């Protein structure tokens, strides 16, 4: 809660609270996309984005609207 952001990008002015966030950010500069979809080969910088993408293929809709029965 201190607001401290000790992890600084060496290529731009961005700073981060967590080292992992810096690591993922640095892939913007390197172009690295180590997480590839096995169904369509589209690649992503982080695992969570790949997981969200894979739902397009599986049809999984894990979230329910709080106001109606619609899922997404």
Shared-domain flag, residues 53 and 28: no
- Measure the CA–CA gap between 43 and 39, rounded to whole angstroms: 11
Q: What percent of the chain shows pLDDT beyond 70?
A: 100
Domain residue limits at 12:
1-32
What Cα–Cα distance (Å) separates residue 31 from each residue in 18, 26, 44, 49, 60? 20, 8, 10, 15, 29
Shared-domain flag, residues 28 and 44: no
39-60 pLDDT, tens digit per residue, is: 999 999 999 999 999 999 999 9
Shared-domain flag, residues 27 and 55: no
Shared-domain flag, residues 7 and 37: no
Domain count, the chain: 2
Dihedral over Cα of 53, 56, 59, 64: its sign: positive
Shared-domain flag, residues 41 and 25: no
């Amino acid at each position: 809660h201190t607001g401290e952001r000790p992890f600084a990008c060496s290529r731009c002015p961005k700073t981060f609270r967590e080292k992992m966030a810096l690591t993922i950010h640095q892939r913007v500069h390197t172009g690295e996309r180590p997480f590839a979809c096995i169904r369509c080969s589209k690649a992503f910088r982080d695992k969570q984005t790949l997981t969200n993408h894979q739902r397009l293929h599986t049809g999984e809709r894990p979230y329910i609207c709080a106001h109606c029965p619609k899922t997404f």
